[in-house]
């Protein structure tokens, strides 16, 4: 397949592009500078600029672009960045797809979203049928997904990847936690009873490729493990994987003082289940947190000289 990717230089995008190339697909990366190679195409999503010929004849488009949600405090200015970095890219791609003649139009658009869609679900397990919550992230996901509608209206299969935090040593969830946990300063958040949706990096990559190839699947897809865990369980499992104690607790008000509004998201309970993937027969390599952490923390083989 010829697959056009936005966000191909990000954490997930880089690894997905490598996997898809290894599977024999041709990857064209959208870049925000003049293109320098045959496998690149230039665009400017902030201005809504994309030559539709870059998408013509592609089998699929994958959009993983968007500023990191946990990168910094959610000031009013950064909230605008979070919103524009998602809406501008999605809107530009979806409208470009809709302008192509049917014979040239990509058959599929895999569009990034997040489990933030669901807000706080408490102890209630939810699948893709659940409505959006009433938090900042839920509203962001709602308008983000809606921006892909022109492509869907034009007849392209649109898959909305509602992604949970990925378990990988270099990922946004584990990377900042490894040092404090290794020092024995690991801590649960508040009471630790809140549920956490998650997925191993290996399973996220496998699920994304699975969805590229499944022409019968469309709409929202929860990119999560079938076994969500509580924050207390995650804290215990990570400490055990690192062979360190984790006896501390970070009270909610302290977290609020440190990271502001983002702390509220860290304390929300999200018991999200992968209804679509389960029903479609997808098989997880790491459905449980213990095995996922062991794989994520396993020493990588040294590069050959």
Domain at 13, CATH number: 3.40.50.720
Domain containing 42: what range? 2-167+199-226+272-285
Summarize the confidence of residues 61-70 as an average pLDDT.
Answer: 94
- Look at residues 94, 98, 110, 101 and name the one whose alpha carbon lies nearest to residue 48: 94
What is the total count of domains within the chain? 1
pLDDT higher than 90, residue 217: yes
pLDDT score, position 300: 67
Please compute the mean of the pLDDT values over residues 295-305 and round it to a whole number. 69
Tokens in use for 150?
């022109």
Strands 157-163 and 108-114: parallel
Confidence at 112, pLDDT banded by 50, 70, 90: very high
User: Does residue 260 fall inside a structural domain?
Assistant: no
Residue 303 has pLDDT above 60, yes or no: no
Confidence of residue 266 (pLDDT cuts 50, 70, 90): confident
CB 283 within 8 A of CB 210: no
Q: Is the pLDDT of residue 86 over 60?
A: yes
Judged by average pLDDT, the poorest of 34-43, 102-111, 156-165 is 34-43
In a domain, 116, yes or no: yes
What's the mean per-residue pLDDT of the chain? 94
Residues whose CB falls within 8 Å of the CB of residue 48, separated by 6 or more in sequence, listed in order: 88, 91, 92, 95
303 in any annotated domain: no
Please tell me the predicted confidence (pLDDT) of residue 267.
Answer: 85
**183 inside domain:** no
What's the whole-number mean pLDDT along residues 219-233?
97
| pLDDT reported for residue 73 | 86
Q: Are strands 248-250 and 166-167 parallel, antiparallel or unpaired?
A: unpaired
What angle in degrees, to the nearest 10, is found between the helix axes of 11-22 and 201-213? 60
**In the prediction, which pLDDT does 171 show?**
92
pLDDT of 178-187, one tens digit each? 999 999 999 9
Residue 261 lies in a domain: no
Compute the half-sphere exposure of residue 42: CA atoms within 13 Å on the CB side of its CA.
Answer: 6
pTM for the structure as a whole: 0.95
- C-alpha separations of 275 from 112, 130, 267 in Å: 17, 11, 24
- Across the range 7-32, mean pLDDT stands at 96
| Residues 285-295 as b or e (16 or more Cβ within 10 Å = b) | ebeebeebbeb
The predicted model gives 111-122 an average pLDDT of 96
Q: Which CB contacts under 8 angstroms, 24+ apart, belong to 240-245?
A: 240/290, 241/290, 241/293, 241/294, 241/297, 242/178, 242/181, 242/182, 242/186, 242/297, 244/181, 244/182, 244/183, 244/184, 244/186, 245/184, 245/186
How far is 86 from 120, CA to CA, in rounded Å? Answer: 22
In a domain, 211, yes or no: yes
Per-residue CA distances from 63 to 130, 144, 158 (Å): 23, 11, 11
Taken as a whole, the chain contains a residue count of 305
295 domain residue, yes or no? no
Write the pLDDT tens digit of every residue in 185-198.
999 998 899 999 99
Running DSSP on this structure, what letter comes out for residue 113?
A: E
Beta-strand relationship, 40-44 and 166-167: unpaired
Mean pLDDT in residue range 19-40: 95
Which burial class, exposed, middle or buried, applies to 137 when counting CB atoms under 10 A from its CB (0-12, 13-18, 19+)? buried
Is 27 within the bounds of a domain?
yes
Average pLDDT on 140-149 reads 98
Confidence of residue 301 (pLDDT cuts 50, 70, 90): low
pLDDT tens digits, 229-258: 999 999 999 999 999 999 899 887 777 766
| Percentage, residues of the chain above pLDDT 90 | 87
């Amino acid at each position: 397949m010829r697959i056009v990717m936005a966000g191909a230089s990000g954490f997930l995008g880089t690894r997905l592009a490598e996997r898809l190339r290894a599977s024999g697909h041709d990857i064209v990366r959208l870049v925000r500078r003049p293109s320098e190679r045959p496998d690149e195409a230039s665009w400017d999503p902030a201005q809504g600029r994309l030559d539709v010929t870059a998408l013509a004849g592609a089998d699929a488009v994958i959009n993983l672009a968007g500023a990191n949600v946990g990168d910094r405090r959610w000031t009013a200015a950064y909230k605008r960045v979070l919103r524009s970095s998602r809406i501008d890219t999605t809107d530009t791609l979806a409208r470009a797809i809709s302008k192509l003649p049917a014979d040239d139009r990509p058959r599929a658009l895999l569009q990034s979203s997040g489990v933030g869609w669901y807000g706080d679900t408490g102890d209630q397990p939810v699948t893709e049928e659940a409505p959006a919550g009433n938090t900042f992230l839920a509203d962001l996901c709602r308008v983000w997904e809606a921006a892909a509608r022109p492509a869907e209206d034009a007849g392209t299969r649109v898959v909305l990847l509602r992604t949970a935090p990925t378990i990988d040593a270099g990922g946004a969830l584990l990377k900042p936690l490894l040092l404090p946990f290794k020092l024995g300063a690991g801590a649960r958040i508040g009471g630790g009873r809140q549920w956490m949706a998650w997925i191993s990096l290996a399973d996220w990559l496998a699920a994304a490729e699975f969805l590229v190839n499944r022409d019968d699947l469309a709409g929202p897809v929860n990119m999560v493990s079938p076994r969500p865990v509580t924050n207390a369980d995650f804290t215990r499992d990570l400490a055990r994987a690192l062979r360190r104690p984790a006896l501390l607790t970070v009270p909610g008000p302290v977290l609020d003082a440190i990271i502001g509004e983002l702390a509220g998201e860290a304390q929300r309970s999200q018991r999200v289940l992968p209804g679509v993937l389960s029903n479609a027969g997808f098989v997880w390599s790491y459905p449980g947190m213990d095995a996922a952490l062991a794989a994520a923390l396993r020493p990588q083989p040294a590069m050959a000289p």
